[in-house]
Structure formats: structure tokens, C-alpha cells
């Protein structure tokens, strides 16, 4: 018997295998297994779970919000979250915890959205903290936020399709008829099978304005109105138009976000109040503590989380003498205090995932919204046409009420009343049914007149609605008007501000800069030499290019900031430590090449400083003088280049840096001399100030040269001085020129 059973096993088809304890197992190629078993799962995740659709919602979001709408929570009172979760399971059978987590993320209390869809009461946690967990659904309460009016007020007007739920017991909307591009307003992240989606949030006002402009002009430059992502957590976006253009055009790219901080000088600590949207307080603290343990950061004495009801606050206590800005630059590089947000605008459109740029997303939303408005108008039109049809039948009856009553009284059977009225007045069955339902009390003059007027009103409304359906421009105009109304109702200022021209690779020197003495030489052609005192003593003979000469010689220290002013109204900033030590026998480093000057851009002056105290004097060829504080050129972000460094109204003849007031000799091309004291010139706070007129010039004359004046440079110098500006200056006598002037 056993032998026979074994033989039966061997007779199993070649496509199957018998395994002891498991029975007959079918042999199947891996490709066939994937196609039959894995592909349906993958498609389900992509289409029904992970990726948002053009209305801005995933299925779980849409099911939850629609359930709350059907519960009357749009205008009603708050209700327990557990009630909402239970009711949502009629549409979403994935478990109560998943539904509640969805509601938490959409809530105002969680603070993860720019415009939350759920008003909340109780502990809903915070998106920026893992430790601040949300309370159970039985303790919290919720309702729909006012902005949900823009999602649901057309749901009953056939604006979108209603489809059966998972067990065919009720229906739910396939999409929500959003009146604004919510897909771009609130962030959406989803991981499907073999693909993902990550949509950063944008300011509602900017999105609506951009959409309006694109509807009017398809070639509109969206960077004009859509400045950049706007995150609920605030912080600073390091703005790079080339990066934004790539994201706007392709739907893919990465943007950098920095934390916002302030320095508390009294307590010698840094308070961080806004962090990147992509990280948490715990992740930041953990990374900083790790850096302290590795001895990579020595400036911090303590770090603690002081977040309370007033909002996020992370406090870093500093050791004495620590520069807070330089420390933050280190933390930006090594910790999530500066983080990247990877954009991947992958959206389901007509059942297919598609990665799109901003313009294409808005155009797809406009098509969707166009269809919603058209269906809404058609719904209203059909409703009014049906009512007009009834009113027309009623008007025929009201022309001869006595005849109507006579037909009804003389009809023997109730079922014959409607057919008799149809024959008697030439109306259809629907009109006759409507007439028979009118109460006897309504057969009065007032009621009859109202119905007559209503007929005229309905005919006008029908004409208006019909005209809208026939005109694309009118439908587009309705969409734009609704967007403008949404801006008025819900527009709010940006939370994420911008940082411009931040050099990511040179934000700080990782090793401490040695602050030893050096001699600094700058030549007319733009070569810079940094020479150690010992080296200069051994060889003081300077090697220069032909026709070049040294114009500036300073004794400074290695950790000094240098500002190079160019003839194109720009200033280039760097630290002297960025230049290599050189010798007198070398040409030095060519500054325009090292600092990436523009073509044909030349240096007109160099200033060395540590504390940015003192003032810069700009002497213009048109006779004006601008006195600008050096602190105007100090920036926290260590920007390498500043445009509009001074006024471009006239070329600069000379610039001087002074800590205290000095006298200057101005010489015009017609050889008039004027000595002025810089103390007479008031300081201008704006870098591009044109300054004040100090020397009066004749037509076609200009300032030819300016020199620092020292006592004894000119005999009888009182002749050339003045206290009243502007002054014409004095022309020296030709007979005395050789002896009078020691220039």
C-alpha cells in the first residue's frame, strides 16, 4: 500500500513538486510569481494608499475628511476623536490607529500643515518632537477647520463623482472639489512600491496668485509670484534661483533649510526657536551631544530642550569667549540644524503616477477645477430647468383654476386625476403630478403672482448659466474670482524667510585660525602678498610685474577680514587666512582670480578689519563725498560678494578707511585745491548713498585726485581750508607753486 502511495507521488505533473508536510507545491517562474502576486499589491499601494491625487489628498485623508463632513462637523461642535475614527472605518477598513494618526497629522495642534484641515482640542503632539506624543483618541476632540468649506461646499452639486465604498454599503467622493491648489499648499509625503512622492508646501497666497497669472498667461514666469517653499516650522530657506528653477520645471531637486536662532548676550546662550521641517528636536540634541563627546565641538557647556506652551525652544549654553555666529556655522554643517528637503512632485493624474513641475501641476489642477465648475453649473442649470418646467405647467393650470377644480371633482378614480389634467391642459405627467400636490390654501392671488415672477427669474438664471457653460473664459474667470476670495479669507504671511548668496563650502574654518602678525601688500594690478615678519626681514626687496607698484602696505594679523572694492560697485569679502603665506620674491596671489571677479573688473581699494568699526569715505569724480559706516558691510552669513556696495551715480576717484576724522586734499582737473575735514561730513546709513557735494566744479571738470592731508604738506594751508561746503577750492599762484606746495 505504501509503495502504491509513493508511486502516486512520482506521477505528479512535472510542473508540481511534492514536499513532505507541505503537500503538492506548484513550480512557477519568479517572473510569473511577481506578475500574479506582487504586481496587484504594488498597484494597490500606488493607486489607493501612498500617492496623493490632484486634489491634494491621499485616499486616507479624503475618507477621513468626508466622514467628518457627513457627521456635520463642518459647522457643528467638537466631538470625541474616537467617534470620528469609528465612523471613518465605514470607508477606511485599515484599523483605528492608522485613521487616528492621519487625523493627528491634519490637525492644528500637530502643527505639520500651513493650513490645517482639522480643528483640535487636547494633546495632539508636535511634528517637531518625537517625545511629545499625542494622547489617545478617547481624550481628544476635533472638528473640521473653516478652510474645509472650500473643499465640500460643492460636494452636493455633482462637482465630482461619488463611488461605492469597499463593501458597497455607501458612497464616497473620488476626489474633493478643492477651490484652490491644495496639492501645493500643504506638504504631502508618501512611499509606494518602486516610487515615492515628496511635495513641499508653498504659501497659499503665492500659490493662488501664481495660478491666476498662469490662467491668464501660460508663459507667465512663476518665480515672480511663487518665491519658494514655505514650511510650517519656519526657519530660513537658502535661496538659489537656479535650484528653484530646476524644481519648478522638473518637479525634482533639493532645497536647504536652516534653523532660526538668536543670541542671548546676558545669559551667554543661543536660543533656537525654529528648526528644519525634516528633523526633530531629539535628533538635533543627540547629534550635538555626539559631537561634544567626539571633542569636535568644544564651545558648548550645556544643551537643553525648553519647549513649552509658547512653542519650540532649544537652548545652547556657551563657554566664555565663544563667537555664537561661528559656532552656529559649525552646527549647520555637522547637525540637522541645517537640513535638506528632497522634492519629488509625483502625483496621481487620471489613475497614473506622474512627476511634474509646478506649472504642469497647476495646469492639471486647472483642468480638474474647470471640470468641477462646469459640472456644478450644469447641476444648477438642470435644477432650474426642472423647476421652470414645473412652473410652466403650473401657469397653465392657474389660467383657469375653475376648470382645474372641475376636472378633479368630476374624476371618479384618484388614479385618473393626473391623466385627466394632462389631457385637459396639454401638460406632461411631471407637471400634472406637481399640480396635484399643491395645497388648496395656495390657490390665491399672492401665490399665483409669486409663481409668475419666479418664472421670469428662472428664465434669466438659466440664460446666465447656459452662457457660462458655453464660454471657457467665463469659467476661467469664476476660478480666478474664487482664488482671489480664498486669498482674502485665508492668506497669511510667509513663515519661512530667505537667505541669499550663502557659500555652503566656506561657511567657516574647521580648524582654528592662527592670529599671528603678518605684513600685507596690495599692488596696483591686484596682486596680494601676505609675508611673515621674519621672512620680510631676510628679504625686503619686492618682486613686481612690469609697470606694477605697491599701493597698500598694512601690518595686520592673520585672522583679519578683507574687503576688496571694485570699479563695478561691488565688494568681495574674505578672510586673510584664505591667502597663502608668500615671500617678497614672489608676485603673490592674484585677487580677482581668487575671488572670482567679473571680466574687466578692477580693485579700487582694500580695507582690513576685525570688528567692522570706522567709516569708509567714497570721493566721487562729480565732487560728491559719501561717508558710510564699515558695519554696513558686515553680514552674519559670511557672504562672499555684495552687490551695490556704493553709489553708481559717478565713478569713484578714491576711497579711504578711517577710524577717526582726518583732513583730505581734493584736486580737480583744472588744478583747484580744497582741504576738507571729514568730521564735517555726516554718516549715511545706506551703502548706495550719493553723499554730499563738497567741491563745486566747473562744466566738464571732475575730481582728479584725493590725498590724505598732513600738516606741512602745503604752505599757507589756511587758504585752501573751508568750513562751508560745498566750496570752489583755490588755484595756487603759478609763481609760488614750486615753493608753496610740497606734494
Query: CA separation (Å) from 199 to 101, 114, 470?
Result: 19, 13, 35
Residue 630 has φ and ψ, to the nearest 5°, of: -65, -25
User: What's the rounded Cα separation, in Å, for the pair 259 and 273?
Assistant: 8
Which of the residues 139, 166, 500, 715 is marked catalytic?
139
**139 catalytic per annotation:** yes
DSSP SS3 for 211? helix
* CA 139 from centroid of its chain's CA atoms: 35
Round to whole Å and give the CA distance between 39 and 54.
24
Task: Answer for the pair 740, 712: CB distance below 8 angstroms, yes or no.
Answer: no
Closest by Cα among 498, 520, 503 to 231: 498
- Using CA atoms, how far apart are residues 553 and 540, in angstroms rounded to an integer? 13
What letter does residue 89 receive in the DSSP assignment?
T
Please provide residue 610's backbone torsions phi and psi, each rounded to the nearest 5 degrees. -115, -35
The helix/strand/coil state of 538 is: helix
Q: How many CA within 13 A on the CB side of residue 580?
A: 9
CB 312 within 8 A of CB 273: yes
Query: Comparing C-alpha atoms, which of 169, 504, 140, 109 is closest to residue 329?
Result: 504
- In the sheet where 141-144 sits, what is the strand order? 79-80, 141-144, 118-121
Find residue 26's DSSP bridge partners: 16
- Alpha carbon separation from 448 to 66, 388, 441, 453 (Å, rounded): 42, 14, 12, 9
* Residue where the block lists cell 602745503: 714
Pair 366, 144: CB distance under 8 Å: no
Backbone φ, ψ for residue 426 (5° rounding): 70, 40
SS3 of residue 549 by DSSP = coil
> Which residues are bridge partners to 79 per DSSP?
142
| 551 closest CA partner among 587, 521, 584 | 521
DSSP string, 585-622: TS--EEHHHHTTPPTT--EEEEEEESS--SEEEEEETT
DSSP for 662-701 reads -EEEEEETT--EEEEEGGGSPP-SSTT---EE-B---TT-
For 392, which DSSP code?
H
State the DSSP code for 47: I
Cell of 323: 563667537
**CB-based contacts of 711, cutoff 8 Å, min separation 6:** 717
Catalytic residue ranges: 139
Amino acid at each position: 500500500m505504501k509503495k502504491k502511495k509513493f508511486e502516486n507521488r512520482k506521477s505528479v505533473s512535472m510542473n508540481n513538486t511534492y514536499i513532505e508536510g507541505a503537500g503538492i507545491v506548484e513550480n512557477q517562474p519568479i517572473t510569473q510569481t511577481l506578475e500574479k502576486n506582487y504586481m496587484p499589491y504594488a498597484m494597490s499601494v500606488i493607486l489607493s494608499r501612498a500617492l496623493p491625487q490632484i486634489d491634494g489628498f491621499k485616499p486616507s485623508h479624503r475618507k477621513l475628511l468626508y466622514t467628518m463632513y457627513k457627521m456635520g462637523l463642518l459647522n457643528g461642535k467638537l466631538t470625541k476623536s474616537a467617534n470620528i475614527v469609528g465612523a471613518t472605518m465605514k470607508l477606511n477598513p485599515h484599523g483605528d490607529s492608522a485613521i487616528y494618526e492621519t487625523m493627528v497629522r491634519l490637525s492644528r495642534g500637530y502643527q505639520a500643515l500651513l493650513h490645517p484641515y482639522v480643528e483640535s482640542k487636547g494633546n495632539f503632539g508636535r511634528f517637531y518632537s518625537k517625545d511629545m506624543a499625542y494622547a489617545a483618541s478617547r481624550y481628544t476632540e476635533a472638528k473640521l477647520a473653516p478652510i474645509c468649506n472650500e473643499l465640500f461646499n460643492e460636494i452636493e452639486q455633482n462637482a465630482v463623482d461619488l463611488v461605492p465604498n469597499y463593501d458597497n454599503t455607501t458612497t464616497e467622493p473620488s476626489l474633493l472639489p478643492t477651490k484652490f491648489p491644495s496639492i501645493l499648499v500643504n506638504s504631502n509625503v508618501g512611499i509606494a512600491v518602486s516610487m515615492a512622492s515628496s511635495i513641499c508646501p508653498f504659501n497659499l497666497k503665492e500659490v493662488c496668485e501664481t495660478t491666476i497669472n498662469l490662467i491668464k498667461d501660460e508663459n507667465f514666469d512663476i518665480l515672480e509670484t511663487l518665491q519658494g517653499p514655505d514650511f510650517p516650522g519656519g526657519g530660513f530657506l537658502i535661496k538659489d534661483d537656479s535650484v528653484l528653477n530646476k524644481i519648478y520645471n522638473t518637479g525634482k531637486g533639493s532645497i536647504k533649510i536652516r534653523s532660526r536662532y538668536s543670541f542671548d548676550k546676558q545669559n551667554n546662550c543661543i536660543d533656537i526657536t525654529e528648526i528644519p521641517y525634516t528633523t526633530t528636536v531629539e535628533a538635533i540634541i543627540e547629534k550635538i551631544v555626539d559631537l561634544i563627546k567626539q571633542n569636535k565641538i568644544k564651545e558648548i557647556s550645556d544643551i537643553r530642550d525648553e519647549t513649552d506652551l509658547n512653542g519650540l525652544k532649544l537652548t545652547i549654553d556657551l563657554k566664555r569667549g565663544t563667537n555664537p555666529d561661528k559656532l552656529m556655522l559649525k552646527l549647520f554643517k555637522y547637525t540637522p540644524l541645517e537640513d535638506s528637503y528632497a522634492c519629488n512632485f509625483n502625483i496621481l493624474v487620471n489613475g497614473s503616477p506622474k512627476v511634474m513641475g509646478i506649472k504642469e501641476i497647476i495646469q492639471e489642477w486647472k483642468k480638474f477645477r474647470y471640470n468641477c465648475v462646469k459640472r456644478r453649473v450644469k447641476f444648477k442649470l438642470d435644477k432650474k430647468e426642472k423647476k421652470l418646467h414645473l412652473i410652466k405647467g403650473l401657469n397653465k393650470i392657474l389660467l383657469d383654476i375653475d376648470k382645474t377644480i372641475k376636472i378633479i371633482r368630476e374624476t371618479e378614480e384618484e388614479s385618473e386625476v393626473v391623466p385627466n389634467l394632462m389631457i385637459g391642459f396639454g401638460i406632461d405627467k411631471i407637471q400634472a403630478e406637481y399640480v396635484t400636490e399643491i395645497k388648496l390654501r395656495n390657490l390665491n392671488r399672492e401665490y399665483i403672482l409669486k409663481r409668475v415672477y419666479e418664472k421670469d427669474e428662472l428664465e434669466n438664471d438659466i440664460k446666465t448659466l447656459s452662457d457660462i457653460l458655453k464660454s471657457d473664459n467665463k469659467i476661467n474667470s469664476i476660478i480666478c474670482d474664487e482664488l482671489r476670495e480664498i486669498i482674502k479669507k485665508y492668506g497669511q504671511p510667509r513663515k519661512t524667510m530667505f537667505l541669499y548668496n550663502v557659500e555652503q563650502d566656506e561657511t567657516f574654518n574647521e580648524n582654528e585660525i592662527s592670529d599671528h602678525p603678518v605684513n600685507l601688500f596690495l599692488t596696483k594690478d591686484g596682486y596680494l602678498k601676505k609675508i611673515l615678519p621674519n621672512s620680510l626681514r631676510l628679504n625686503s626687496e619686492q618682486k613686481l610685474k612690469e609697470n606694477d607698484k605697491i599701493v597698500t602696505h598694512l601690518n595686520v594679523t592673520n585672522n583679519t577680514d578683507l574687503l576688496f572694492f571694485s570699479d563695478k560697485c561691488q565688494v568681495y569679502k574674505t578672510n586673510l587666512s584664505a591667502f597663502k603665506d608668500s615671500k617678497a620674491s614672489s608676485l603673490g596671489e592674484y585677487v580677482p582670480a581668487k575671488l572670482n571677479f567679473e571680466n574687466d573688473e578692477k580693485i579700487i581699494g582694500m580695507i582690513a578689519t576685525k570688528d567692522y568699526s570706522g567709516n569708509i569715505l567714497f570721493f566721487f569724480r562729480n565732487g560728491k563725498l559719501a561717508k558710510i559706516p564699515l558695519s554696513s558691510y558686515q553680514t552674519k552669513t559670511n557672504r562672499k560678494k555684495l552687490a551695490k556696495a556704493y553709489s553708481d551715480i559717478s565713478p569713484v576717484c578714491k576711497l579711504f578707511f578711517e577710524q577717526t576724522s582726518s583732513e583730505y586734499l581734493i584736486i580737480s582737473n583744472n588744478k583747484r585745491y580744497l582741504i576738507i575735514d571729514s568730521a564735517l561730513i555726516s554718516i549715511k546709513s545706506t551703502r548706495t548713498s550719493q553723499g554730499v557735494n563738497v567741491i563745486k566744479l566747473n562744466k566738464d571738470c571732475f575730481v582728479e585726485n584725493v590725498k590724505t592731508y598732513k600738516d606741512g604738506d602745503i604752505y599757507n594751508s589756511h587758504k585752501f581750508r573751508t568750513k562751508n561746503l560745498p566750496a570752489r577750492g583755490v588755484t595756487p599762484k603759478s609763481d609760488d607753486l614750486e615753493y608753496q606746495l610740497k606734494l
